[in-house]
Amino acid sequence: MIFALLAALALPSFAAEPKVGVLVMAHGGDPAWNAVVEQALEPLKAVRPTALAYGMADAATLQKAVAELEGKGVRRTAVVRLFLSGDSFLVRTEKILGLASGAGERPRDWDSPADHSHHHEAHAAMAHMDPDKMPLWKVVTVSTFALSREGLLEAGLGPPIMAKRALALSKEPAKESVLLVAHGVGDDKDDARWREAMAPAVAAVRKAAGFRRVQGVTLRDDWPEAHARSVAEIKAFVADAGRDGGRALVVPYRLFGFGPQAGALAGLDIVSDDKGLLPDPLVGEWLKAGAERVVKSAGW
């Protein structure tokens, strides 16, 4: 009787425990880019309700993802940000989810046809890496949120995956030079930190085979002056790689492909398959483990 009473008392508390889900944030791209991201979510979807919000902390896509999870009964949401840098759009995300002040109220017509045109304008601003021009408002929600703060650069996935990519392209390492190309940022000091974070992956590629030379660069797609300097650096690397019958292997140190500025590499004598950190099962496992770390740290 005592055990039955204890079980009866414990049951309402267990049943009332809020459901935990996961919201994954990712940049978004063309159909091939989106397909490999969605594939990476499969391990996570197998264990928790999961929604995906594309955009660089886009309030509208975050609102829709939150509503999707709440429609499944989720009231506690672990937010995992699938960006290379853990700093990417962190403060903006906190404001939109109500974890920090600074976001306005959601527009009344946020899901109207008129708002959709504003949303397209926002995505145009996103294409130029200018989130400050995107609408900033707080989602309407009944949920509690907790955020991941680690990016893929900090996670340690780059070294094994970049080494795997270089080896897949290689035929004769002693005559090959490998260039890892990341996105980077506009500010020179911040971009230098990006390059420092690439160093373990550069070292892993060197260790993987006896390549002639291995280097990491940032393409800095969205900042014209910095981008021009990066393109000149890449061209110099490729020219040097071609001496004495050598060749340049170029690997995107990005989530997938070279992004909208792939044309900057057009005409260069390089070998590449456009694969980045995806597709690779390590990313899916990182998403799953990262979500569980957020859940645990939140005490859920």
Per-residue pLDDT tens digits of the chain, which is 300 residues long? 555 544 544 444 444 679 999 999 999 988 999 999 999 999 999 999 999 999 999 999 999 999 999 999 999 999 999 999 898 999 999 999 999 999 999 998 887 443 443 444 444 344 444 566 789 999 999 999 999 999 998 899 999 999 999 999 999 999 999 999 999 888 999 999 989 999 999 999 999 999 999 999 999 988 999 999 999 999 999 999 999 999 999 999 999 988 777 888 889 999 999 899 999 999 999 999 999 999 999 999
* 258 and 287 inside one domain: no
* 68: in domain: yes
Task: Answer whether residue 212 is part of any domain.
Answer: yes
Tell me: do 125 and 101 sit in the same domain: yes
Instruction: State whether 246 and 293 are in the same domain.
Output: no
In-domain check, residue 176: yes
Whether residue 22 is found in the same domain as residue 147: yes
Report yes or no on 118 lying in a domain.
yes
Same domain for 138 and 248?
no
Please indicate, yes or no, whether residues 265 and 291 belong to a single structural domain of this protein.
no
Phi and psi dihedrals of 146, rounded to 5? -140, 140
Q: Are 8 and 135 members of one domain?
A: yes
Q: Are residues 53 and 189 in the same domain?
A: no
* pLDDT value of residue 126: 45
For residue 14, tell me if it sits in a domain: yes
Count how many domains the chain has: 2
Sheet holding 74-81, edge to edge: 50-54, 19-26, 74-81, 144-147
Could you tell me the residue range of the domain that residue 40 belongs to? 2-151+281-297
pLDDT at residue 124, as a whole number: 39
Same domain, residue pair 54 and 123? yes
Q: Are residues 62 and 120 in the same domain?
A: yes
Classify residue 276: in a domain, yes or no. Answer: no
96 in any annotated domain: yes
Same domain, 216 and 258: yes
- The burial of 79, by beta-carbon neighbours within 10 Å (0-12 exposed, 13-18 middle, 19 or more buried), is given as buried
Rounded to two decimals, the pTM is 0.85
Answer yes or no: do 144 and 188 share one domain. no
CATH number, position 202: 3.40.50
pLDDT at 1: 54
In a domain, 30, yes or no: yes
